[in-house]
Structure 1
């Protein structure tokens, strides 16, 4: 996963946790605007989420953040 996406995921997770608490869940769509302005990055996130790790649609933000920080 490219550094741009890793940074974006960590930033979004941090913001969600800060505003909604440790129990907040996210999907890979949380890292993108409602318009498809970067399809390659979206597909990279979707591939990491769905194919590589076979995650559920919503996962706790702190889990995703920890996974990304660990380089998974």
Structure 2
């Protein structure tokens, strides 16, 4: 996984945890503005997430 998306994932997760607590649910779609903006990267993250 590239460094840019890894940084974004950590940022989004940290923000969600800070706002809603450690038991917050999070979908990998949260890392994308639009789920179709980069289908190859979306599938890479989805595969990692699962």
- TM-score when normalising by structure 1: 0.61
Task: Write the mapping of 1:49-64 to structure 2, written as runs, cut at 5 A.
Answer: 49-50=49-50
Q: Is residue 2:26 matched to residue 1:5?
A: no
Q: Greater relative contact order: 1 or 2 (C-alpha under 8 angstroms, separation 6 or more)? A: 1
Q: Which runs of 5+ in 2 are unaligned?
A: none
Aligned CA RMSD, in angstroms, stands at 1.3
Larger proportion of strand? 1
**Counterpart for residue 42 of structure 1:** 42
CA distance in 2, matches of 1:45, 1:11: 15
Look up the SS of the partner of 1:37 in the other structure.
coil
Aligned structure 1 segments of 4 or more residues deviating by more than 4 angstroms: none
Q: Which runs of 5+ in 1 are unaligned?
A: 51-72
Q: How many correspondences in the alignment? A: 50
